[in-house]
């Protein structure tokens, strides 16, 4: 198999891939293909229950939080979060614009109603991040929204160290389940699949139930967060396949990896190895992120010239390494080190980088 460093769809753990292949023919305990499985079947109801239970166990979530599986990706949540929670009883919600995806989120919120941007990284070329605790946020704000890992720029926030003054909402699409969290500091956490959670189609939403009391009564039902919570993520036809693979991934995290602290260790090993390699090549390579904000999940870098970047992707492809193209908005290269990327794959990438640099020297 190719070694997939793509930012999305991300790599899948090989054991999960094997189980998925089997389930496409027939889910072991049922004899029915997962692709033909009814979302009303007992089997699927038990899968949703297990996915929720496993996510609760991995994150150490209390009953204060709901867990639901939504569709429409994180982009739909960019719109529905302000619709549900930015009610006139509060000051406008506060947004941190730290890169491409957070700017998309705040732009969408401003289409729904008033919102404020409390920090904008444009002036620093989206290479740095603020410290959450130092932001100047109106204490009456409906919430503070940020993107915990900027997938495109390769920037990752430090986890909050204090209880926030206003409800904290985090888009964790590209670093969910990559490290342990003090979940009780968050009012809402959401993450789409196709990075750490398997194929696209499902978006995990974790909400402090206290916030649900704010939701206006006149939202279309499918946009009201209470609807899927009350219907155990089965109000309308859910993405059965994506939820099944997500469940397999949560099993892998719990049983094979041993939880999020163990996952974080592996992720730290991988990212520090790659950054060390790139730092050794600093004469020829530039990392997009300022050192303090380097992401463990997405490493954006360039040889400084589109021709050289392309030559490197071609050299990497000869070793079976794929998915290194940077996003069109930043250009350059990007190696995504999601949970399923193995340390061995990172070693091979580093060796390929080193060999490439030597050839050009």
State yes or no: 63 annotated in a binding site.
no
Query: Which residue in the list 119, 120, 163, 171 is annotated as catalytic?
Result: 171
Answer yes or no: 270 catalytic.
Answer: no
Nearer to ligand PLP, 101 or 126 (CB): 101
Q: Is 346 in the site for ligand PLP (CB under 6 A)?
A: no
Nearer to ligand PLP, 8 or 180 (CB): 8
Q: Is 325 in the site for ligand PLP (CB under 6 A)?
A: no
Question: Strand pairing of 144-147 and 149-150?
Answer: unpaired
State yes or no: 40 annotated in a binding site.
yes
* Residues in binding contact with ligand PLP, number by CB under 6 A: 11
Q: Is 174 in the site for ligand PLP (CB under 6 A)?
A: yes
Q: Is 101 in the site for ligand PLP (CB under 6 A)?
A: yes
Binding ligand PLP by CB under 6 A: which of 47, 95, 187, 192? 192
Nearer to ligand PLP, 91 or 223 (CB): 223
- Stretch 3-32 residues interacting with ligand PLP (CB under 6 A): 8
State yes or no: 101 annotated in a binding site.
yes
Query: Which residue in the list 119, 195, 224, 293 is annotated as catalytic?
Result: 195
Binding ligand PLP by CB under 6 A: which of 52, 171, 224, 309? 171
Q: Is 98 in the site for ligand PLP (CB under 6 A)?
A: no
> Can you give the three-state secondary structure of the chain, one letter per residue?
CCEECCCCCCCCCHHHHHHHHHHHHCCCCCCCCHHHCCCCCHHHHHHHHHHHHHHHHHHCCCCCEEEEEECCHHHHHHHHHHHHHCCCCCECCEEEECCHHHHHHHHHHHHHCCCEEEEEHHHHCCCCCCCHHHCCCCCCECCEEEECEECCCCEECCCCCCCCCCCEEEECCCCCCCCCCCHHHCCEEEEECCCCCCCCCCEEEEEEHHHHHHCCCCCCHHHCHHHHHHCCCCCCCCCHHHHHHHHHHHHHHHHHHCCHHHHHHHHHHHHHHHHHHHHHCCCCCEECCCHHHECCCEEEEECCCHHHHHHHHHHHHHCCEECCECCCCCCCEEEECCCCCCHHHHHHHHHHHHHHHHHHC
State yes or no: 111 annotated in a binding site.
no
- Stretch 136-155 residues interacting with ligand PLP (CB under 6 A): 147, 151
* Minimum CB distance to ligand PLP, residue 190 (Å): 9
State yes or no: 156 annotated in a binding site.
no
* Minimum CB distance to ligand PLP, residue 72 (Å): 7
* Minimum CB distance to ligand PLP, residue 147 (Å): 5
* Minimum CB distance to ligand PLP, residue 324 (Å): 16
Answer yes or no: 195 catalytic.
Answer: yes
Answer yes or no: 101 catalytic.
Answer: yes
Residue partners of 345: CB distance under 8 A and separation at least 6: 3, 5, 11, 321
Backbone angles phi, psi at 36, to 5 degrees: -115, 15
* Minimum CB distance to ligand PLP, residue 283 (Å): 31
Q: Which residues sit at the interface with ligand PLP, rule CB under 6 A?
A: 8, 73-75, 101, 147, 151, 171, 173-174, 192
Residue list for the binding site? 40, 101, 151, 171, 194, 236-237
């Amino acid at each position: 198999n190719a070694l997939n460093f793509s930012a999305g769809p991300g790599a899948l753990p090989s054991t999960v891939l094997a189980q998925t292949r089997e389930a496409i023919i027939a889910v072991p305990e049922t004899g029915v293909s997962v692709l033909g499985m009814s979302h009303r079947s007992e089997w699927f109801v038990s899968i949703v229950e297990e996915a929720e239970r496993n996510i609760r166990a991995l994150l150490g979530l209390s009953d204060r939080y709901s867990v639901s599986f939504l569709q429409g990706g994180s982009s739909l949540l960019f719109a529905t979060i302000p619709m549900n929670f930015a009610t006139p009883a509060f000051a406008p919600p506060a947004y941190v614009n730290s890169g491409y995806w957070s700017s998309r989120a705040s732009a969408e919120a401003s289409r729904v109603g008033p919102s404020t941007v409390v920090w904008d990284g444009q002036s620093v070329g989206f290479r740095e991040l603020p410290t959450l605790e130092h932001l100047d946020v109106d204490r009456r704000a409906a919430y503070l929204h940020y993107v915990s890992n900027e997938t495109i720029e390769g920037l990752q926030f430090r986890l909050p160290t204090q209880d926030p003054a206003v409800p904290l909402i985090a888009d964790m699409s590209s670093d969910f389940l990559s490290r342990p969290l003090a979940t009780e500091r968050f009012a809402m956490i959401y993450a789409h699949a196709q990075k750490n959670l398997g194929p696209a189609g499902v978006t995990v939403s974790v909400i402090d139930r206290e916030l649900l009391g704010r939701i206006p009564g006149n939202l279309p039902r499918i946009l009201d967060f209470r609807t899927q919570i009350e219907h155990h993520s089965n109000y309308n036809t859910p993405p059965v396949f994506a939820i099944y693979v997500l469940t397999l991934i949560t099993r892998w995290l719990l049983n094979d990896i041993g939880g999020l602290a163990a996952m974080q260790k592996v992720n730290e090993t991988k990212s520090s190895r790659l950054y060390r390699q790139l730092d050794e090549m600093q004469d020829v390579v530039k990392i997009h992120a300022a050192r303090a904000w380097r992401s463990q999940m997405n490493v954006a870098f360039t040889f400084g010239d589109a021709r050289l970047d392309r030559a490197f992707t071609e050299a990497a492809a000869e070793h079976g390494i794929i998915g290194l193209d940077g996003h069109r908005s930043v250009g350059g290269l990007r190696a995504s080190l999601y949970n399923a990327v193995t340390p061995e794959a990172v070693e091979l990438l580093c060796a390929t980088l080193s060999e490439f640099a030597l050839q050009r020297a």
